Amino acid sequence: MSVPSFESMSAPTPTPEGAKEEYNALYASWRRAKTRGERLQAIRQWDQIRRSLDTWQALTHLRFNQDTQNEDHKSARAYCDEIRPKLMELDVTMKRELLASPHRSELEQEFGTQAFALWQSDIKTYDPKIAEDLVKEANLQAEFIQLLASAELEFRGVKYNMSGLKQFAEDRDRAVRHDSIRVLWRWFDAQRESLDRIFDDLVRLRHGMARKLGFEDFVPLGYLRMNRVDYGRADVERFRNEVRDRVVPLCEKLRKRQARRLGLSELCYWDESLHDATGNPRPRGDHDWMLARAREMFDQLGRDTGEFFRLLCDRNLLDLKSRQGKAGGGFCTALPAYGVPFIFANFNGTRGDVEVFTHEAGHAFQSWMSRNVKLHDYLWPTTESCEIHSMSLEFLTWPYMEMFFGEQAAGFRDMHLADRLLFLPYGVAVDHFQHLVYQRPEASPEERNRMWQEMERIYLPWRNYGDLERAARGGFWQQQRHIYLMPFYYIDYTLALTCALQFWVRAEEEREVALADYVRLCSRGGEAPFQELARSAGLVSPFEEECLAAVVRQAGERLGVSS
């Protein structure tokens, strides 16, 4: 199929009645199927329905994120979120049928066992009695996205949105860094009540859903919603402890060295993003220039990435410029009916822009390589595996950074590595915090802030917010979108990063082999659970003894610090 340009892409808007009819026809074909061929045919029919519905949901949410003030996009999103539980219910019915099928082993031979493991966890996360709660949850999330996108932050006479303002956090002038970040935290302070209320409602709602589904609290439901089928809470806790014991001391040294390099007696929060007194490396051109460099980079990287990236550019499958009303953040989504991904970002002229081409393009490349997987469930793996594709590409594209940063490229590579190490403690802090929050759903906003402060004491002991009152009083977590929008997602970055660092080590030693393993991993999509995918790419699971310690040691050596 030839891929049309993004503007002309569409997917039929379903109605609850229409979808029900379509699914009833599907169940009937499934139940009627007498032969293996007929059973596979019914599953293909189901995949077809899901591809169309997923494309519709992705387009609807994407267009809302592109312009959160547009009334048509807003109401389309609201309708989408409203009927989504009904669609889930129809899907869960099919999953239950498949799980109970006497032909299960035949299907497992065809598709592997991973789909069954995923469905087994999916069916526990849904029941019609939580349908209304799911709609409420989606509405609160949309309210949060709109609230953040509506921020107009005035700094030195110019109005910025959040992404735009964040460029000043890297400024060489300390006063600029401090004052711009203070503008941001004044906004968070002014929005305190809304932010607290939205989160409080989300926590109570999520806890209520968990209780209705028979769980003690939201934590186990959160894990199931993340489809974690091959590791659990105890593994995650052990991993967090390892970060605390092995990585935090190293990061303290990195922060101390950073302060020395910046000539500061004390490193404050507003200094953390500046790694070099002469200024962080910045890409040497604007949006169009960077796009041209990214094309060259992928052409040289080869292995289908060049062809893939040209397709993204030619079909307008990139929305990278920041603008008022556009939602913040960056993500990649798939449009499975067209077999292509879409990348959404907010450029602000910093080195972070380049990471859109190296991180989000990693997600996009994987979903494109997986466009012909046997089963729709395998288009993406679970998210900790997804982040291996993105974070590893950040390291695998290191040799091309001269294209973007010129002679600052070596500085960029060191900074990137240091930044990623420094991320690990923050990543596990966000995860640990969410466990505390959902274990005590009745906690007040002030108590939650104290929980976060406790996390900072353990994992980010160098943190100094100075006169940023809201952050100093424990409110820092409110700027982390995932906590509102994707509970328990955050540990995934740290697990994936532990894998990506292994790709970094291997690429230094045997680049061609590492690249081949990377591309093969992307092509497998989600056909296996996390640890199996990692092992098949020649990686050690982050849950294995000494895995984290070994890569962190190597990264520390490269950066000239040891724990």
Closer Cβ to Zn ion, 333 or 390, answer by number: 390
State in angstroms the smallest separation of the CB of 427 from Zn ion.
12
| β-strands 331-335, 153-155 pairing | unpaired
> Which single residue is written with the structure tokens 């520390």?
556
Closer Cβ to Zn ion, 77 or 363, answer by number: 363
Closer Cβ to Zn ion, 98 or 500, answer by number: 500
Using CB under 5 A as the criterion, what x/- string covers residues 362-381 for binding Zn ion?
--------------------
Number of Cβ atoms within 10 Å of the Cβ of 553: 15
Closer Cβ to Zn ion, 210 or 379, answer by number: 379
> Which single residue is written with the structure tokens 């009334």?
71
In the three-class reduction of DSSP (H, G, I as helix; E, B as strand; rest coil), residue 320 is classed as strand
> Which range binds Zn ion by CB under 5 A, 124-132, 231-239, 369-377, 386-394?
386-394
Closer Cβ to Zn ion, 391 or 437, answer by number: 391
Closer Cβ to Zn ion, 78 or 486, answer by number: 486
Q: Kindly report the backbone phi and psi dihedral angles of residue 350, in degrees, each rounded to the nearest multiple of 5, phi listed first.
A: -100, 180
> Which range binds Zn ion by CB under 5 A, 88-96, 284-292, 389-397, 433-441?
389-397
State in angstroms the smallest separation of the CB of 202 from Zn ion.
22
State in angstroms the smallest separation of the CB of 295 from Zn ion.
21
Interatomic CA distance for residues 507 and 519, integer angstroms = 13
> Which single residue is written with the structure tokens 């991320």?
423
CA-nearest of 430, 431, 394 to 415 is: 394
Report whether 273 contacts 163 (CB < 8 A): no
State in angstroms the smallest separation of the CB of 362 from Zn ion.
8
Give the interface size with Zn ion as a residue count (CB under 5 A): 1
Q: Which residue is nearest to Zn ion (CB)?
A: 390
434 is a site residue for Zn ion (CB under 5 A):
no
State in angstroms the smallest separation of the CB of 364 from Zn ion.
10
Closer Cβ to Zn ion, 280 or 390, answer by number: 390
> Which range binds Zn ion by CB under 5 A, 51-59, 292-300, 364-372, 387-395?
387-395
Neighbouring residues of 59: CB distance < 8 A, sequence distance ≥ 6: 9, 10, 11, 335
Closer Cβ to Zn ion, 348 or 390, answer by number: 390
Neighbouring residues of 133: CB distance < 8 A, sequence distance ≥ 6: 205, 208, 209, 212
Interatomic CA distance for residues 139 and 315, integer angstroms = 31
Backbone region of residue 477 per phi and psi (left: phi > 0; alpha: psi in -120 to 50; beta: other values): alpha
Closer Cβ to Zn ion, 387 or 517, answer by number: 387
> Which range binds Zn ion by CB under 5 A, 340-348, 367-375, 388-396, 434-442?
388-396
Report whether 26 contacts 45 (CB < 8 A): yes
Neighbouring residues of 416: CB distance < 8 A, sequence distance ≥ 6: 351, 394, 398
User: Within the chain, what is the greatest distance between any pair of CA atoms?
Assistant: 76
358 is a site residue for Zn ion (CB under 5 A):
no
Residue ranges of the alpha helices (H) in 302-382? 305-314, 352-355, 361-369
State in angstroms the smallest separation of the CB of 359 from Zn ion.
6
State in angstroms the smallest separation of the CB of 124 from Zn ion.
26
Which tokens belong to 256? 């101390």
Number of Cβ atoms within 10 Å of the Cβ of 143: 16
CA-nearest of 340, 342, 348, 382 to 360 is: 342
Interatomic CA distance for residues 11 and 334, integer angstroms = 13
State in angstroms the smallest separation of the CB of 387 from Zn ion.
5
Neighbouring residues of 234: CB distance < 8 A, sequence distance ≥ 6: none
Closer Cβ to Zn ion, 65 or 390, answer by number: 390
> Which range binds Zn ion by CB under 5 A, 31-39, 131-139, 385-393, 517-525?
385-393
Neighbouring residues of 500: CB distance < 8 A, sequence distance ≥ 6: 387, 388, 391, 392, 394, 395, 420
State in angstroms the smallest separation of the CB of 184 from Zn ion.
23
State in angstroms the smallest separation of the CB of 386 from Zn ion.
7
CA-nearest of 411, 267, 426, 308 to 351 is: 411
Closer Cβ to Zn ion, 366 or 390, answer by number: 390
State in angstroms the smallest separation of the CB of 499 from Zn ion.
13
> Which range binds Zn ion by CB under 5 A, 147-155, 305-313, 390-398, 412-420?
390-398
- Describe the chain by its helix, strand, coil percentages, rounded to 5: 70, 5, 25
* β-strand partners of 154: 159
State in angstroms the smallest separation of the CB of 234 from Zn ion.
26
Closer Cβ to Zn ion, 273 or 333, answer by number: 333
CA-nearest of 202, 144, 235, 256 to 494 is: 235
390 is a site residue for Zn ion (CB under 5 A):
yes
State in angstroms the smallest separation of the CB of 394 from Zn ion.
10
State in angstroms the smallest separation of the CB of 131 from Zn ion.
30
Closer Cβ to Zn ion, 324 or 480, answer by number: 480
Interatomic CA distance for residues 115 and 373, integer angstroms = 12
Closer Cβ to Zn ion, 370 or 390, answer by number: 390
The residues that touch Zn ion, with contacts defined as CB under 5 A, are 390
